[in-house]
Amino acid sequence: MSEPHPRRAAVTGIGVVAPNGTSTDTFWKSTREGISVLDRVTRAGCAHLPLRVAGEVRDFDPQSAVEERYLVQTDRFTHFAMAAADQALDDARLGRPDTDAAPFSVGVVTAAGSGGGEFGQRELQQLWDKGSRFVGPYQSIAWFYAASTGQISIRYGFKGPCGVIASDEAGGLDALAHAARAVRRGTDVMVAGATEAPLAPYSMVCQLGYEELSTVEDPERAYRPFTASACGFVPAEGGAMLVVEAETSARERGAPVRATLAGHAATFTGASRWTQSREGLAEAVRGALHEAACAPEEIDVVFADALGVPEADRAEALAIADALGTHGRRVPVTAPKTAVGRGYSAAPVLDVAAAVLAMEHGLIPPTPNVFDVCHDLDLVTTRARAAELHTALVLSRGLMGSNSALVLRLGATDAS
Amino acid sequence: MTRRVAVTGIGIVAPDGIGVPAFWDLLSNGRTATRGITFFDPAGLRSRIAAECDFDPAVHGLDAEQIARCDRYIQFALVAGEEAIRDSGLDLAVENPWRVGVSLGTAVGGTTRLEHDYVLVSDRGKRWDVDHREAGPHLHRAFSPSTLASTVAERFEARGPVQTVSTGCTSGLDAVGYAFHTIEEGRADVCITGASDSPISPITMACFDAIKATSPNNDDPAHASRPFDADRNGFVMGEGGAVLVLEELEHALARGAHVYCEISGYATFGNAYHMTGLTSEGLEMARAIEDALDQARLDGTAIDYVNAHGSGTQQNDRHETAAVKQALGAHAYDTPMSSIKSMVGHSLGAIGAIELVACALALTHQVVPPTANYETPDPECDLDYVPRVARERRLNSVLSVGSGFGGFQSAVILNLPREKTR
């Protein structure tokens, strides 16, 4: 078992590009108010597909967020990542002058589930319609899963450990945990998170085989986890990047510590074996609590995975009860992602951003479109709930069978 | 107390090297497995050569359902995984499944199937608004590379941390490095790790053509991959998969397992320079080597062999030579350094794990595999590249390095257990 770590990993910056807000402020305002932005898919070439509802990022202008030379060689998912990283670094008050002197002290880790799908479809079209000579020089670096990590490292001059977790949804939490471990091993700062852009026509076609996908056409009814009318999940694009920093480093430069990544664990119970995910998720929660030296009763709020598949919802409700005991029936649970959909590996990172903001504001955001909860959970619905929040638990499960849990603590730990 | 990490099983699917005995036979005899592409008609491509695996999944024990569901790169991982687990002697039925993890790398994942089905749904590239009704039943499994680790974890009933790693051409080293840290930090006792890729498809060949990274030596495929040679002109695409069983050393010793070697250091850094370009100094790779040596508590002079990235591009081989000289100092000149990509090509994300299997075998046999096709020295690459013929040598500690798109530079140290030092 892991021992408590002397070099604690803190969150000192947050950047968000989400369907319900392309800055942390707008994201939080919309999340807090429980405004659902799920809507009919409007992207070119998708109208005929039997996947009608998604969380699209609509008020994002790549040209204003990313320099031209990066724009031409990157896909939309990397545009999101660069914009979110920019915001997070600004938020952490980390600029090039701070990091240029010690480039190896800053690393980058992202999770990526689907890579640069739109860019890839364009180049596939060039190849098959016109011929191999029409494939552009950037296909090799825009489509692959490591594009965002590499481009962020280059754009800011970060030479620290670079990583890419290409796992399923839960990989988003695993990437943050990877950053926390890099910090414990001696790196001062990690820019960490995930963004996805899976809404190009061919990417959409690729997802149609997921039996958990919602095909309901009414945006208000398409993604309703924990209800009797749960009918699957709705995909989304966007995501979040965080600055994960050694608490000591933050203290030295006088940067506020917003939260600490206190504990994490990951397990695996098999693709689409949702009943078994109960045991796997509970085991992940127990592992995360252990690493955080956190008693179940200390958890003030749970950000649920909330897949929206009845069997999976039941497994998650039971896992919370299994791992937290009687406290599991009292602790407030929320799933703000019903407002925006599930952006694959980006979804739990957005939840972590929301959890930090919730703790800071003493306000649990609600679960939009969910009213009639059919599980033994105190799910926060309809409107935000005021509460004193010191510790949050974020859960994630992936379609390929991973379960992951992360414990966050508000603010800095004692200097002792 | 530091937990040490042992390699107790290896398995491999490589070009002309399916299974460990065949693979070692290829390497130790310096044969090359590069040839003209047979998987599709490569007419029109600048580079029309590759190191292909003559791989029939049915012969290697996969059933019809596995063959239909799993992309070729996942089939490689399943076959290599079976061999590695069998080799390790682990009885997974008695292991605590929550303490068994999986960490597998891939650079391009399911691209081959993604391209295959794309052609169907787009009417050969004519439609942006693709027709989903033409897609195959398993396309969603190719969409995300998470399928790789997931499929292998399901096969071996691992329930611990399971992840797919995708850092381009360093994926193999990074996946094994993550597994090493996972066991060292106490998050698992056993980890099934490695990497797999099957990138020999029109789109992947075309995108490397576009940046002239691959060799146009189409007239002489057997001698096309020429790492460190003055006449090198790009890498030769390869494919394959390798799996290593990593185990906490005490756990391995307690069950009387054969220990190939330990993994004792791993580090990765970014060059923050260019997605595909490399500096001539190689300072970031040098830093990764130094950091890995620190973890292994070894001095650079302890390294007996360097398994090079050695892709055979002009810039890579210069960069890497400079990096090794920077990290090992004068000792670099006394240390053999070879590239097995001269024989098995460059299988992108898979090759790092394939090279680690080669390192484990080099330590076992006390033999350094050669750099095939090396004939004409390049003044800028002035180390001992073990030309064409394998060499017997006392090997205790070896270093494997990798370099990839995104600017990533990784290093792994393997050594015989100190108790077994020769």
Summarize pLDDT for B335-385 with one digit per residue, the tens: 999 999 999 999 999 999 999 999 999 999 999 999 999 999 999 999 999
Q: Catalytic annotation on B191? A: no
Alpha carbons B167 and B214: distance in angstroms, whole number = 19
Task: Indicate yes or no: CB of A166 within 8 angstroms of CB of B98.
Answer: no
Token pair listed for B191:
């980890």
Alpha carbons B64 and B9: distance in angstroms, whole number = 27
Alpha carbons A190 and A176: distance in angstroms, whole number = 9
Which phi and psi (to 5°) does residue A334 adopt?
-140, 160
Residue B126 covered by a domain: no
Q: What is the pLDDT of residue A71?
A: 96
What is the per-residue pLDDT across A375-407, written as a single tens digit (0 to 9) for each?
999 999 999 999 999 999 999 999 999 999 999
**pLDDT at residue A1 is higher than 50:** no
Domains A9-252 and A260-410 share a fold: yes
Alpha carbons B7 and B285: distance in angstroms, whole number = 24
Q: Confirm if B113 and B106 have CB atoms less than 8 A apart.
A: no
**pLDDT at residue A415 is higher than 50:** no
Q: C-alpha A210: how far from its chain's center? A: 20
**pLDDT at residue A2 is higher than 50:** no
| Gyration radius of chain A's alpha carbons | 20
State which residue of chain A sits closest to B285, comparing Cα positions. Answer: A159
Arithmetic mean of pLDDT, A80-84: 98
Tell me how crowded residue B19 is: count the other CB atoms within 10 A of its CB: 16
Cβ under 8 Å to B: A residues 200-239: 201-210
Instruction: Report angle CA A367, A373, A374 to the nearest 5 degrees.
Output: 150
Q: Confirm if B240 and B14 have CB atoms less than 8 A apart.
A: yes
State which residue of chain A sits closest to B156, comparing Cα positions. Answer: A270
Non-local (6+) Cβ contacts of B208 within 8 A are A140, B47, B214, B237
Nearest to B128 among A45, A147, A280 (CB): A45
Q: What is the pLDDT of residue B422?
A: 75
Q: What is the pLDDT of residue A414?
A: 61
Q: What is the pLDDT of residue A167?
A: 87
Q: What is the pLDDT of residue B1?
A: 60
Q: What is the pLDDT of residue A3?
A: 47
Alpha carbons B319 and B228: distance in angstroms, whole number = 11
Arithmetic mean of pLDDT, B282-305: 98
Tell me how crowded residue B131 is: count the other CB atoms within 10 A of its CB: 15
In 3D space, the residue among A275, A263, A264 whose CA is nearest the CA of residue A307 turns out to be: A275
Task: Indicate yes or no: CB of A153 within 8 angstroms of CB of B407.
Answer: yes
Alpha carbons B101 and A266: distance in angstroms, whole number = 10
Torsion from C-alpha of A79, B284, B193, B83, nearest 10 degrees: 120
Task: Indicate yes or no: CB of B206 within 8 angstroms of CB of A135.
Answer: yes
Alpha carbons A287 and A290: distance in angstroms, whole number = 5
ipTM field = 0.97
Alpha carbons B30 and B387: distance in angstroms, whole number = 9
The mean of the pLDDT values for chain A is 96
Q: Catalytic annotation on B169? A: yes
**pLDDT at residue B400 is higher than 70:** yes
**pLDDT at residue B19 is higher than 50:** yes
Nearest to B165 among A73, A165, A265 (CB): A165
In 3D space, the residue among B3, B31, B37, B5 whose CA is nearest the CA of residue B17 turns out to be: B31
Alpha carbons A19 and A99: distance in angstroms, whole number = 31
Q: How far B29 CA sits from the closest chain A CA (Å)? A: 34
On the CB side of B411, how many CA atoms lie within 13 Å of its CA? 31
Residue B140 covered by a domain: no
Q: What is the pLDDT of residue A416?
A: 38
What percentage of chain B exceeds 70 in pLDDT?
100
Q: What is the pLDDT of residue B20?
A: 98
Alpha carbons B226 and B349: distance in angstroms, whole number = 20
Looking up residue B197, the CATH number of its domain turns out to be 3.40.47.10
B188 SS3 class:
coil
How would residue B421 be classed by pLDDT, with cut points 50, 70 and 90?
confident
CATH of segment(s) A260-410: 3.40.47.10
HEC-encoded secondary structure of chain A: CCCCCCCCEEEEEEEEEECCECCHHHHHHHHHHCCCCCEECCCCCCCCCCCCEEECCCCCCHHHHCCHHHHCCCCHHHHHHHHHHHHHHHHCCCCHHHHCCCHHHEEEEEECCCCCHHHHHHHHHHHHHCCHHHCCCCHHHHCCCCHHHHHHHHHHCCCCCEEEECCCCCHHHHHHHHHHHHHHCCCCEEEEEEEECCCCHHHHHHHCCCCCECCCCCCCCCCCCCECCCCCECEECEEEEEEEEEHHHHHHCCCCCCEEEEEEEEEECCCCCHHHHHHHHHHHHHHHHHHHCCCHHHCCEEECCCCCCHHHHHHHHHHHHHHHCCHHHHCEEECHHHHCCECCCHHHHHHHHHHHHHHHHCEECCCCCCCCECCCCEECCCCCEECCCCEEEEEEECCCCEEEEEEEEECCCCCC
Count of A-B CB contacts under 8 Å: 264
* Owning domain of residue B192: 5-110+145-420
**pLDDT at residue A95 is higher than 90:** no
Task: Indicate yes or no: CB of A344 within 8 angstroms of CB of B135.
Answer: no
Residue B125 covered by a domain: no
**pLDDT at residue A73 is higher than 80:** yes
Token pair listed for A277:
């995910």
On the CB side of B242, how many CA atoms lie within 13 Å of its CA? 32
Token pair listed for B198:
């099957």
Q: For chain B, how many structural domains are there in total?
A: 1
Q: Catalytic annotation on B346? A: yes
Burial of A35 (0-12, 13-18, 19+ CB in 10 A): middle
What is the per-residue pLDDT across A224-252, written as a single tens digit (0 to 9) for each?
999 999 999 999 999 999 999 999 999 99
Q: What is the pLDDT of residue B420?
A: 77
Task: Indicate yes or no: CB of B406 within 8 angstroms of CB of A113.
Answer: no
Return left, alpha or beta for B124; rule: phi > 0 is left, psi -120 to 50 is alpha, else beta.
left
Q: What is the pLDDT of residue A25?
A: 98
Domain residue ranges in chain A = 9-252, 260-410
Torsion from C-alpha of A252, A257, A262, A267, nearest 10 degrees: -110
What is the per-residue pLDDT across A162-171, written as a single tens digit (0 to 9) for each?
999 998 999 9
A365-403 core/surface letters (b: 16 or more CB in 10 A; e: else): bbbbbbeebebebbbbbeebbeeebebbbbbbbbbbbbb
Helix H or strand E encompassing B233: none
Cβ under 8 Å to B: A residues 366-405: 398-402
Residue B354 covered by a domain: yes
The mean of the pLDDT values for chain B is 97
What percentage of chain A exceeds 90 in pLDDT?
95
Residue B117 covered by a domain: no
What is the per-residue pLDDT across A347-375, written as a single tens digit (0 to 9) for each?
999 999 999 999 999 999 999 999 999 99
Q: Confirm if B98 and B260 have CB atoms less than 8 A apart.
A: no
A9-252 has CATH 3.40.50.2300 classification = no
Residue B134 covered by a domain: no
Torsion from C-alpha of A142, A144, A147, A150, nearest 10 degrees: -120
Residue appearing with tokens 């390699």: B7
Q: What's the Cα-to-Cα distance from B25 to each of A20, B14, B54, B249, B281, rounded to whole Å?
A: 58, 12, 16, 29, 35
Q: Indicate which residue of B70, B191, B261, B346 is catalytic.
A: B346
Q: What's the pTM value of the predicted model, to 2 decimals?
A: 0.98
B192 SS3 class:
strand
- Which of B152, B163, B180 is the mutation pick for testing A, counting most A CBs within 10 A? B163
